[in-house]
Structures are given as structure tokens and as C-alpha cells.
Amino acid sequence: MARGLGYYIAVRALMIIPTILVLYTIVFILLRMLPGDPILAVAGTKNIPPEQYEELRRLAGLDKHPVVQYFDYLWGMLHGDFGVTLATPRGTPVSRYIWQRFPATLELTIFSFAISVLLGLATGTVAALRRGGMVDAGMRVYSIVAYTLFIPWFGMILQYIFGLQLAWLPTSGRLDPGLTVDRVTGLYVLDSLITRNWDVLKSALAHLVLPSITLGIVLSGAYTRLVRNNMVDVLGQDFIRAYQARGVRGWKVAWYALKNAFIPVVTLMGLQFAILLGGAVLTETTFSWPGMGTFIVDRIEYRDYTSIQGAVVFFALFVGLISLIVDIVYALLDPRVKY
Amino acid sequence: MALLEIKELTVNYYTLTGVVNAVDKVSLNVEKGEWISVVGESGSGKSTMAYAIIGLVPPPGRIAGGQILLEGRELTSLPPKEMRMVRGRDIGMVFQDPMTSLDPLRRIGHQVAEVLVEHGVAEWDDALEKAKEMLRRVGIPEDRADYYPHQLSGGQRQRVAIAIAMVLRPKLLIADEPTTALDVIVQDTIMDLMEEFKKEGTSIMLITHDLALASERSDRIAVMYAGRLVELGPVDDVVEGSAHPYTQMLLRSVPDLWGPKDIKSIPGFPPDLRNPPSGCRFHPRCPYATSKCSREDPPMVRVGPLHYAACHYAGKLGEEGGG
Amino acid sequence: MAETLAWRTRNLATSLIAPLRGRAPGVWMLRVGLAIVLTVVFMAVFAPFIAPYSPVKRVDRGYLPPSWEHLMGTDNLGRDVFSRIVWGARIILKVVFMASALSMAVGIPLGLVSGYYGGRLDRVLSMVMDSMYAFPALILAIAIAAVLGPSPTNTAIAIAFVYVPTYFRMVRGQTLSLKSQLFVEAARAIGATHRSIMFNYILPNLGHTILVVFSLSVADAILTEAGLSFLGLSVTVPTPDWGYDLRKGQPFFLDGYWWMVFFPGMMVMLLAMGFALIGEALSERLSTAQTR
């Protein structure tokens, strides 16, 4: 039964592989099944010289048999090769863009994720403690409204209020112009801490506020609901009354209740993170955030088939990794999970 | 002086559809070192009374009147902080379902030790040692202190719950249906365990719907019906010479292996306590009811040296009368 | 058969109308939700009569703030924002309903077959659907729409892909629990074919659940559609479309011309909220009905 956490993680990691493979396969097949010639699309004209057409096909890896393509790409992916761009600048490895852009997206999503979880826990707990009353009803409205907020719209309203009218916060980019930071991780907040560059830290945090609040609030609605329902459930259980009956202090009881209500929330986190990544594309576009989302959108304008394919496949890998992390966190939190 | 004196206790639930009078002017004493069992159907107010004693009537319930004195100290008007210290230290409580009364996310040793820490009796290191001792005392090997509740059987979990309730050696242990969720053989060992603590001087209040279980080990039995105390007395008096028709019918509804008695369930249903019957609350189901019963509340009358019943005709109704 | 069908229809109809009456806690949600959705549908259907101006022509000076003449102002090209909103309702509803119909047409039968027969087919399908479900919907839709090229139909196809797993998972789960129930056993005993059991016995019992999933996924699909057109993946100029108009208004927004952005975005949110409220109310009703 108990073979230890290392064994558990290894098994879970192995179980993620099929998920990633399936996702890769779906993306691979979809992109090839769909009508339209990507080569003509990226060239922007039907009248391109045949040799240039062939050159583009070779660059895109489309000249080989689909089965060969499938395994070639998979093999490359394992080595961090996601193909090369077809549009200008032609022939650049997509992985170079991912290397540049992904940390920005990661930084944004980590902050948004933290905001959404904290907001969800707070609102859900308050609703559960005041269940049946006006506060509960209010939190319910909050969760629905938050969930249906249209990210670009909400983001622009925040830009208008806090960036334009109050002029408290910057509305676009990751850093004030002129500032640079040595890359260690690519996450500016982390890098500026490591290099003790306080100006950059301040600027990076200020730039993060609006986009991560936008995305965080939108994502918090789902947690509000879940935390509230779990909390109501947990508060009705005997062990809460039993804690009180032994004279345990109120705030400690509330903490234990929250811990128990949090367990099912963890299972939602993987899915929420996926939604977060989708929302990040819109958030990045709204706030000119130089991440993966804006990269995809830029490349769509060029109809750069290979870049889009590379970015999407990379996201598939990342989603797999996230679900592995969620599994591990869950196992660490809940003693009932056997490993 | 009695350990616990309950005087005219009234508890209401203020629900949206009306006020539910769950406990109505119940007076009851618990003596030092005695085992008293409170018997009644679900909805009779027995559990509500237990929660009232430890000051944890769930909302929308509230104590609407009466007093609860623990060694002369009034509990109902105690500030929350002091009441918290009473819980666990002076009064311990064990709940019905050991599956749900322990926190699934914490090691049992910690849950026992926490009581000591929260009451300022010991620091964590020391408390954990004492917790192990206590677990051994209730029959859980001390190397299991690191176990989580899900790794134990139902009976073992109830032992842990008792260990938690008893670790500060409270004067009173309230056990709310502690064995209902367990199978019969395990039931007995849990009762044995409680009896051991009784021998060490703890008073026990067993809340149960099971008159047979109550009659096995109790010193006294209190019978509740529809929020009121209907009969109170030494176990033999109540079982052999019950003075209230409800108790009599309750006794006949208990299957008896050795008796030729035919089992009879009590006809009718317990009343809706938003709108309880006038006079004696049992009169709509009572075979002996007269017009007086629906008019006047029956007082608690003495039918034996320590035996009381709330019936206008207490002691005047023959056991065979119901036949 | 015809009788039972009539009974079922009436049953579904009353259970839809019944929650509108009474004082159940979710009633207000259903009322507000229906009011919003019906208003937008009305706008879309009668757009030519409601919109005071042409949605695509210059009708006045540009950058005019909201006034009685132009309820929501005019955009940078002098077009009436309100008229564009009214006509824009058509696009978004058309795309979203087309997408939902497609997802249902694929997801529901697959879910039925997968849940009913089980076995290897079920394992493979579930694996594929679960993986798709775990992937960021918007990114998948972006990839598909990007390859297909911008057009409302292509957007609908892209969105449809994304919601197939939602219907599949729900129908499969319900089928699994229904197929062991007594009435299905009875049908099998009287010799009903598999196809008949699936479509005549199990499917009609999924009506309510499908309705709930439909309203909730439509709410989501509205946001996805608006997101895709915000990214320029749905319509092309000069078609009026809420998401696209939001994008086109963005450069002027921070100069103070808030109305070009505020109203289209508000409509996206209102419409999504309308469907979400309906879905919430219905799912609450469904869960209380089941626990009873």
C-alpha cells in the first residue's frame, strides 16, 4: 500500500503521458484534417512559384507522409523542437519564441491563479457562514457575474478607471520603458528579487496588478460556488460540532473547516488552470502583455501555421504538467489518498 | 449537591415556518458518579437538551428559559470564553457517528492532544505523549497515534472519540447515541469502556432511543416525549414498574428474547412541535386519555421514593391495563 | 407512443413554466435570465425594425457621445453604435446556436453509445473527450478558427468542437446510471433493440440534464464567440459583431470614447449572464427534484 510519495509521483507522471499524447494527436489530426492549404494561406497568394511552394512545405514539414510527420514532430517535441516559423521572420525556431514569451504568460497566470483562489476562498467562506441570508445571495450573484464577465471588456474598464481616470497603474506591457532585468527565470518578479533590482520589482508588480486582477476575478466565480457548497457541507458535519464540544477555539475550528472544504477545490484547480490559460490570451491582448497569447494572435495575422501548431502543442504539454502537479498536491493534502 | 442541575430548561428553534418548542421546561439532576440515560424517540428533544448543556444548540435554536447549573455554576449565562473552557474540561461529549465526528485530515494523536493544548494543560510535545497514553487507555495501541481516522475501524474511531472526550477527565461525559452506528458486539465494548470511566468517578449521561441498551447499565433512566420529561427514576423502577403510559408502551415495543410478550408498536406519530397538543403532549396517542389530559398539563408526581412520572393517572394505571 | 410523447412534452413544458411561479429561491434567477435572453432574441429577430439606422453606413459625425439621437453614441466612422448592437445580436446568436446544435448532434449520440455499450470503444472515446475537456477551450478554438479562416460558420465549427466533450461526458455519465435501472431492464426483457433502448428509453430521460448543460455551455460559448471575434477570428469588416466592435473600439477607449467599447462588452456579458442564470436555476431545480 504505502510505497511512498516518490513512487506515487512516478506513477502519476506516467499516467499523464497518454493524456499528452492524445492531446498532441488531436491537435495534429485537427490541423491536417481541416480544409484549406496552410501554405497558400501563409503565402497570401495562389500564384507563388512552385519551388517556393515546395520550400515552404518542406519548412512546415508537410512534404513527408503524415505518419512520418506525426513521429518526426513528436520526436522533435521531446527535444524541445516545435518546428520553425513559416511567416516573417521565416525559419526561426518556434521554441525560441516560446522561450521568450512563456515566462510572461506563466507570471501572469500564477498571479491570476493566486488571486482567483484567494478571492474564491474568501467569498465562498463568507457565503457559507452567512448561508441563507442576503450575503449568501450576494455572493451567488458575484459568482455568476464574475464568471460571465467578458475579459477584454472588464480589463478595459479597469484600465479606464485605474489607468486613465485615477492614473494609479500602468495599463500595458510588463515593465516601464527603459527598465531591463537580467534573465534568470524570465519571471520579472522573481528575477528582480534574485538580482535585487527593486525598481524593476516595483514596476513589474505595478504592471501585473490590472491584468492579474482582471483574470483573477473572472476565474474566482467558480471557486466561490464550490467553496461555499463544500463549506456548508463541512460545517454541517459532526466533527465541526465535535471540535466545538471539546472547547477548541472558534478560529481554529473555522481553519479546520476551511481545510476540509479546500480538498475538493484542489480537484477543480487543474481544469481552472486550463480555463485560465485560455483567458490569458484575451487578457494579454487587452493589456499588450508580451506572452504566449499575444504571440499566437500575432502569428494568426500572418496565418503562420507552424507557429500556431507549436504553441498549441506546447500548451498541451503544459496542461499535462499542471494536472500532474494538481494530483501531487491533492495527495499531499488528503491523507485518504493512498500512495 | 448534584453535579448538574437542569431547571425548567426550555429550548426553541426559531424556524421560518414557526417556533419549534424542542425542549419544554425540563428539570433533571445528574448526581456525581451516576449513569443516567435519557431515552426518547428522535425528535423528543433529548439531543437538543444535550447540546443545550454544552451551550451548542445549533441555529436557529436558542435556550429560551431555565437554568443549567454545573456544581452550582450557571452555564447558560456564561461568557463564550468561559463556556469554551467548560467544554472539554468539565463536560466531554461523544457523538453518534464516529465516521464523521473525527476530522478526516488530521492524525488522531493530534486530535487528542489538541484538547490538552487548547485548554492550556500542556504544550504540544507533552500533549502528544499524554495523548498516546490516553489512546492506550481506551485500547488503541500507541503506535497508531499517527494514524488518520480512515485507517481505523468504526469501533476504534469511537474509542478515539471517547479518548478525546475523556482526556481532561471531565466530571460529566455526555454520549449522544454513541453506539447506534456500530454493530452489536462493538457496541458492548464501547459501553464497557464508558462504564470503566464511570467507576473512576465520571458521571455519564447516555442519550439513546434504545430503552434496552439504557436499562443495561444505567443507575437512573429519564424518558422524554415531545420535548418533555415524562418519567424519571431508578432503572428497575422505570423498567419493572413504569408509571407513564408512554414508557409502558415503549417497553412493550422492545423485543424480548425470553418474554412471551407480543411486540406492539406505538400507534400514531410524535406531534408537530411547532404546534404541540394542549395538556399532556402524549394524550393523542394515549389509550387512557381522558378530557382532563387534553386540558391540563400533568405535573411531575412522585410514584416511588426516587421515581417520578408526569401523568395525571400515574400509579393508578395497571400494567395489565394496556393488554 | 404518441400519448407518452404528448405526456412527456407536457411534462417538460410544465416543469419549465412551473419554476416561474412560486417563491422558490431560484425563481428570480430564471425570470431575470429569461427576460435577458428573450430581449436579445427579440432584438435579433426584429433588428430591421428596432435599429434606427443602418449598422454599416456613416450616419452622423464620428465620436458622438450617447444622446437621444444616438442612444449609444457613434463610433469613429460615424456609425450608430446602438444599431450595430441590435444587428450584432444576430451574429452572436446565430454562431452560438449553430455551434451548440453541432456539439449536441455529435456529443449526445457519442455519449449515449459510449455509455450504453461500454467496453473498449467507451474507454477510447472517454480518453479522447477527457483530454479535450482538460485542454484550454479558447486556445483550441483559436487554433481551429485560425486554420479555417475568419467567417461566422468557421467560428461556429471551432466552438462546436470545444463543447462536444461537455455534452459527451454528461450524456455518458447519465446513460451509465440509467442503463441499469428497472425500466431499461424491463425494456430489454420485452425485447427492445439496443438502438430503441438508447433513443426511446434513455434519451428522453436526459431532457432536463441536456437543457441544463445547454444553457450553461451556451453561456460559455457566448464568451468564447466574443473572444474569438475580439481576436479577429470571426467576422470581417464591416459586419456588426459585439466582440469585434469591442476590438475596433479599443484604440479609442483610452482617449475617453468609452461608449464604443462599453456597450458591446456589456451586451456580451448580459447575454452570457442570461443563459448562466437560466442554467443555474434549472440545475438547482433538477438537483432538488433528484434529492426529493
Residue ranges and CATH numbers for the domains of chain C are 27-291 (1.10.3720.10)
Q: What mean pLDDT comes out for the span B141-169?
A: 90
For residue C16, what pLDDT is reported? 57
Across the interface, which of B87, B104, B150 has its CB nearest the CB of A247?
A: B87
Chains A and C touch (3+ CB pairs under 8 A): yes
Per mean pLDDT, which range of A27-41, A184-198, C103-117 is the poorest?
Answer: A27-41
How would residue C20 be classed by pLDDT, with cut points 50, 70 and 90? low
Nearest-5° Cα angle at B154, B152 to B157: 60
Q: Which residue has the cell 443545550?
A: B52
| E strands in B95-171 | none
Distance CA C64, CA C79 (A): 10
CATH number of the domain that residue A216 is part of = 1.10.3720.10
Distance CA C145, CA A303 (A): 11
Query: What are B25-72's pLDDT values in tens digits?
Result: 999 999 999 999 999 988 888 999 999 999 998 878 899 989 999 998
Q: Is residue B188 part of a domain?
A: yes
Tell me the CA distances in angstroms from C208 to A116, C93, C111, C219, one per residue in order. 31, 22, 16, 17
Residue B122, exposed/middle/buried by CB under 10 A (0-12, 13-18, 19+)?
middle
Q: Is residue B215 part of a domain?
A: yes
Contact between B111 and B194 (Cβ < 8 Å): no
Instruction: Report the domain count for chain B.
Output: 1
The yes-or-no verdict on residue C125 having pLDDT over 90 is yes
Single-letter residue type at C110 = L
Contact between B163 and B138 (Cβ < 8 Å): yes
How would residue C8 be classed by pLDDT, with cut points 50, 70 and 90? low
Q: Is residue A33 part of a domain?
A: no
Distance CA A229, CA B291 (A): 50
For residue C190, what pLDDT is reported? 85
How would residue A112 be classed by pLDDT, with cut points 50, 70 and 90? very high
Tell me the CA distances in angstroms from A338 to A1, A5, A331, B281, C241, one per residue in order. 7, 9, 8, 53, 52
Q: Is residue B314 part of a domain?
A: no
Range of the structural domain that residue A254 is part of: 101-177+208-301
Q: Phi-psi bin for B177: left (phi > 0), alpha (psi -120 to 50), beta?
A: left
The yes-or-no verdict on residue A1 having pLDDT over 80 is no
Query: What are C127-161's pLDDT values in tens digits?
Result: 899 888 888 889 989 988 888 888 899 999 999 99
Cell of C107: 456529443
For A318, name the nearest residue in chain C, comparing CA atoms only.
C135
For residue C4, what pLDDT is reported? 56
Q: How far is A230 from chain B (nearest CA, A)?
A: 15
The yes-or-no verdict on residue C186 having pLDDT over 70 is yes
CB contact under 8 A, B93 and A242: yes
Q: Is residue A27 part of a domain?
A: no
| Rounded (10°) CA dihedral A38, A43, A47, A52 | -90
Contact between C96 and C159 (Cβ < 8 Å): yes
How would residue B112 be classed by pLDDT, with cut points 50, 70 and 90? very high
Distance CA C56, CA C235 (A): 13
The yes-or-no verdict on residue C21 having pLDDT over 60 is no
Percent of chain C with pLDDT over 90: 39
Distance CA C164, CA C168 (A): 6
DSSP character at residue C80: B
The yes-or-no verdict on residue B75 having pLDDT over 60 is yes
Q: Is residue B277 part of a domain?
A: yes
ipTM reported for the complex, 2 dp: 0.89
The yes-or-no verdict on residue A157 having pLDDT over 90 is yes
Q: Is residue B110 part of a domain?
A: no
Range of the structural domain that residue B265 is part of: 4-90+170-309
Q: Is residue B28 part of a domain?
A: yes
Q: Is residue B304 part of a domain?
A: yes
For residue C106, what pLDDT is reported? 95
DSSP per position, A66-101: HHHHHHHHHHHHHTT---B-SSSSTT-BHHHHHHHH
Q: What mean pLDDT comes out for the span B221-231?
A: 93
Distance CA A128, CA A105 (A): 33
What order do you get walking across the sheet with B61-70 strand by strand?
B18-30, B4-15, B61-70, B73-74
Contact between A82 and A98 (Cβ < 8 Å): yes
CB contact under 8 A, A246 and B58: no
For residue B323, what pLDDT is reported? 32
Distance CA C73, CA B170 (A): 75
How would residue B172 be classed by pLDDT, with cut points 50, 70 and 90? very high
CB contact under 8 A, C276 and A312: no
Q: What mean pLDDT comes out for the span B176-188?
A: 85
For residues B163 and B263, the model is more confident at B163
CATH number of the domain that residue B289 is part of = 3.40.50.300
Q: Is residue A119 part of a domain?
A: yes
Longest Cα–Cα distance in chain B: 66
**Which chains touch C (3+ CB pairs under 8 A)?**
A
Distance CA B190, CA B94 (A): 11
Q: Phi-psi bin for A79: left (phi > 0), alpha (psi -120 to 50), beta?
A: alpha
The yes-or-no verdict on residue C292 having pLDDT over 60 is no
Q: Is B229 helix (H, G, I), strand (E, B) or coil?
A: strand
Per mean pLDDT, which range of A238-242, B256-260, C67-71, C170-174 is the poorest?
Answer: B256-260
What residues contact C179, with CB distance under 8 A and at least 6 apart?
C115, C116, C197, C202
Contact between C178 and C205 (Cβ < 8 Å): yes
Nearest-5° Cα angle at B106, B105 to B108: 135
CB contact under 8 A, C147 and A22: no
Q: What mean pLDDT comes out for the span B164-172?
A: 93
Query: What are C69-78's pLDDT values in tens digits?
Result: 888 888 888 8
Distance CA B184, CA A308 (A): 67
How would residue B264 be classed by pLDDT, with cut points 50, 70 and 90? low
Q: What mean pLDDT comes out for the span C249-259?
A: 86
How would residue A108 be classed by pLDDT, with cut points 50, 70 and 90? very high
How would residue B257 be classed by pLDDT, with cut points 50, 70 and 90? low
CB contact under 8 A, A242 and B101: yes
Q: Is residue A108 part of a domain?
A: yes
Q: Which residue has the cell 490570451?
A: A281
The yes-or-no verdict on residue B322 having pLDDT over 60 is no
Q: Which residue has the cell 415503549?
A: B250
- Chain B positions touching chain A (beta carbons under 8 Å): 54, 56, 58, 84-89, 92-93, 95-97, 100-106, 114-115, 118-119, 148, 150, 161, 164-165
CB contact under 8 A, C146 and A278: no
Query: What are A292-328's pLDDT values in tens digits?
Result: 999 999 888 888 888 888 999 999 899 989 989 998 8
pTM over 0.95: no
Q: What mean pLDDT comes out for the span A159-185?
A: 86
For residues C58 and B257, the model is more confident at C58
The yes-or-no verdict on residue B319 having pLDDT over 70 is no
Nearest-5° Cα angle at B49, B46 to B50: 90
Q: What mean pLDDT comes out for the span A189-215?
A: 90
Q: Is residue A227 part of a domain?
A: yes
What does pLDDT average to over chain A?
88
The yes-or-no verdict on residue A5 having pLDDT over 70 is yes
